Structure 1
């Protein structure tokens, strides 16, 4: 074999290896993009469930506190905005944050009515909403983990070459502000029981 033939074989081998790597990188991007989309669809299902529970919750509270019209209007407007958002995860998160704040006001109203809080219907709706919120939080963690993997691959060299060539872009995180998570717990030494600050 001549030196020219060996050089040609080495070049062909490198091209074949690069081709296999490019195919693998492309398929990896497709897999990650599909995981992100699937995770978002799971969150979307839970968000719809949350949106469907809210009118029943509002009607239940209305039965006991009909004069709290401003709070009901706030929740209704926030729910309408959240159900109509449907654009990007960041925009949806912003609408969900507004809805969470409005629901906080609704639950603050409910605190003033012990008979309402004792109502079986209210307790059941509150439990269903809490379970839905838990599923949304779990779905958000799964979605954001997939987004992180995709974004890392989009930005890392040399896979960013494939991302640019085939228009794979960064995905948006879905971050909902949860005041309960960010609240600083305080301890009252008189009772020895931790409480959350509002």
Structure 2
């Protein structure tokens, strides 16, 4: 009888260790996925001043738009929380959309080789960012499910694991990659 009890205790301990290690693995995957988003956002933030500089040469009177883009870029670079980053990036995407509407009024700018290269680079970064966002949200989903499932929720609570936030864009127009082909 004591052998059965000892075996059950050992089995429960092994199971708890397995659950704990699974939680650690999933949390690490979420952190890694966020790092992927961070890299793509940094690339995006690095491209924006160059795009603004090229457009400024043709549309200097759009000073308010340029300042808005610069402020939103700075806000995005300084964000520390997922929701804060999300809000900054949504605003930045909207401002970039307005910038590309301005570009429509300048055919010579649309033909500028430097601008076209930057435009292509931004499209690649936006696509990579979208992939990184999907990977992150999938990792967060798996982690959050593990935290909510029975019996792993007890181990998660004891080990101070808490749910992570998704990195989402709020509506369909904001989800779309900006149309960068002129």
TM-score by length of 1: 0.85
- Give the match for residue 89 of structure 1: 82
User: Alpha-carbon deviations, 1:45-96, whole Å to 9, x = none?
Assistant: 11011001000000000111111111111111111111111x1212111110
User: Is residue 2:27 matched to residue 1:21?
Assistant: no
**Structure 2 CA distance, aligned partners of 1:20 and 1:90?**
37
Q: Mark the runs of 5 or more structure 1 residues left unpaired by the alignment.
A: 1-5, 183-198
Once superposed, which parts of structure 1, at least 4 consecutive aligned residues long, lie more than 3 Å away?
Answer: none
> Which one scores higher on RCO, CA 8 angstroms, separation ≥ 6?
2
User: Is residue 2:110 matched to residue 1:126?
Assistant: no
Query: Relative to 1, partners in 2 of residues 1:181 and 1:33: Cα closer, same or farther, differing over 3 Å?
Result: closer
By how many angstroms is 1:176 displaced? 2.8
Larger radius of gyration: 1
* Alignment of structure 1 residues 34-53 onto 2, 5 Å: 34-53=28-47
Query: What is the aligned-residue RMSD (CA, Å)?
Result: 1.4
2:169–2:175 Cα contact (<8 Å) kept: no
- Give the match for residue 155 of structure 1: 148
Q: Mark the runs of 5 or more structure 2 residues left unpaired by the alignment.
A: 177-182
Pick one of 147, 168, 173 that aligns with 1:175. 168
SS of aligned partner of 1:157: coil
TM-score by length of 2: 0.93
